Amino acid sequence: MEKNYLLIPGPAPIPEAVARAMSTEMFNHRGPRFKKLIEELTFSLQKIFQTGERLFILTASGTGAMEAAIVNFLSPGEKVISLVNGSFGGRFADIASTYGAEVERVETPWGQPLDYEGLEARLRADNGRAYRAITVVHNESSTGMLNDLKRISRLRGEHPALLIVDTVSSMGAIDLPVDSWGIDVCVTGSQKALLLPPGLAFISVSERAWERAARSKMPKYYFDLLKAQEYLEKGQTPFTPALSQCVALREGLRIYFAEGRENCYARHRSMARAVREAVQALGLQPLVKDPRYASPTVTAIKKPEPVSVDQLRREMFTRFGVEIAGGQGQLEGRIFRFGHLGAVTGADLVVGITSLELALQALGYPVEPGCAVKAAEEVLKAG
Ligand code: PLP
């Protein structure tokens, strides 16, 4: 019997109604139907971002929006602080240096909190106001670390550096008030908490970031947001948008708002706690030690002896149809990751955790049958 449970950190499972909405007929992307659609989508996304500022819908994956966040607001040679404690933090730094920014990586080991003191010291010493931007990933999917964005925003304070944030695996699942936290440029993708397949990306832009756009000298064509703004005023995008995705997004957003933002945040928090409690009941160690930094959408777990991550993933998938992720980059082979976001439910997690227990037993790791599921249920029943 083929039945799969996609418990990776994205793409996340989507509701059936969203999948059905994808099979739309085509229509004119320069006509009134699209104009109405893009206006409605932009307005709804602004509510999720908690922003009253500009927001653009891009046909791209999340990395496209990260690139747009760099090339539209910076010029070659400008100084950027990139906070890095995982793979995606490193990606932001790479994009900025690829386009000629002078990037200072403020790094901590993957799975450890960011170097908040290091950021504070650099900003405090920057009397000439040379730093033009800070890049940071809100929820580091490669490690399951939720970085403290509110603290970073406070540390940035009155410093004119733009706060540029990747919220690809957090937007929608975690409370993230873009305007009140002073986030200048905020990017996310469609395939995580926003109930859509991959293919669309979203970027919000504060007024002070927008003022920089006119002066930015980094090369850009497809991701030129000044051009996107011109077209948005006509209810269009500069290039052909992914129309099926836009239609499906309307359905995804309808489902999202029917659940309600706060309920959605609570569901993600509870799923994350359930996984954390379950793996601890098995004697396994989450990579992120301090529960205050534990991501509500992704949990990374250190691999136990004598099990290999590949074997574990294969066993869970071939025997139970449960797909979890391995580690990326330097964590490959050392951790495995549960994604619990988007349309994933507590019931899906119970299946995932049961199959984890059974797979571990099959691979020679001692398990007290039912202990992990019991721990998860304790969390899930509390809601
Ligand atoms: N940033 C984070 C935190 C992510 O989790 C991902 C994707 O997994 C990305 C960026 C890149 O997004 P994409 O693969 O859609 O380009």
Please give, one letter per residue, the 3-state secondary structure of 206-243: CHHHHHHHCCCCCCCCCCCHHHHHHHHCCCCCCCCCCH
Mark whether 154 and 288 lie in a shared domain. Answer: no
62 CB within 6 A, ligand 1: yes
Residue nearest to atom 4 of ligand 1 (CA): 168
CATH number for position 277:
3.90.1150.10
One domain for residues 234 and 273? no
Same domain, 292 and 310: yes
Contact 55, 182 (CB under 8 A): no
pLDDT tens across 52-89, in order?
999 999 999 999 999 999 999 999 999 999 999 999 99
Interatomic CA distance for residues 124 and 153, integer angstroms: 14
Q: How many domains does the chain have?
A: 2
Q: What percent of the chain has pLDDT over 70?
A: 100
DSSP H helical ranges for the chain: 16-21, 32-49, 62-71, 87-98, 116-125, 149-156, 207-213, 225-232, 243-259, 261-281, 309-320, 346-362, 371-382
Shared domain check, 84 and 229: yes
Examine the domain organization and report whether 238 and 265 are in the same domain.
Answer: no
Q: What is the mean pLDDT of the segment spanning 94-98?
A: 98
pLDDT beyond 90 at 3: no
Question: Percent of the chain at pLDDT above 90?
Answer: 99
**Looking at the whole model, is its pTM more than 0.95?**
yes
For residue 382, pLDDT over 90 is answered with: no
Mark whether 80 and 156 lie in a shared domain. yes
Say if residue 194 is in the same domain as residue 182: yes
* DSSP, res 86: S
Q: Residue 141: CB within 6 Å of ligand 1? A: yes
Q: How far is the CA of 186 from the centre of ligand 1 (A)?
A: 13
Using the 3D structure, point to which of 240, 257, 274 is the last residue of a domain: 257
Q: Are 250 and 281 contained in the same domain?
A: no
Strands 322-323 and 325-326: unpaired
User: To the nearest whole number, what is the mean pLDDT of the chain?
Assistant: 97
Residue range 263-320, pLDDT digits in tens: 999 999 999 999 999 999 999 999 999 999 999 999 999 999 999 999 999 999 999 9
Q: Give the separation between CA 1 and CA 244, rounded to whole angstroms.
A: 30
Query: Are residues 372 and 251 part of one domain?
Result: no
pLDDT-derived band at 1 (thresholds 50, 70, 90) equals low
Q: Are residues 215 and 277 in the same domain?
A: no
- 251 lies in the same domain as 278: no
Final residue of a structural domain among 217, 233, 257: 257
> Which residue segment(s) compose the domain that 242 sits in?
16-257
Pocket of ligand 1 contains residue 72 by CB under 6 Å: no
What gap in Å lies between CA 322 and CA 314, rounded to an integer?
9
Same domain, 177 and 308: no
| Domain final position from 239, 257, 275 | 257
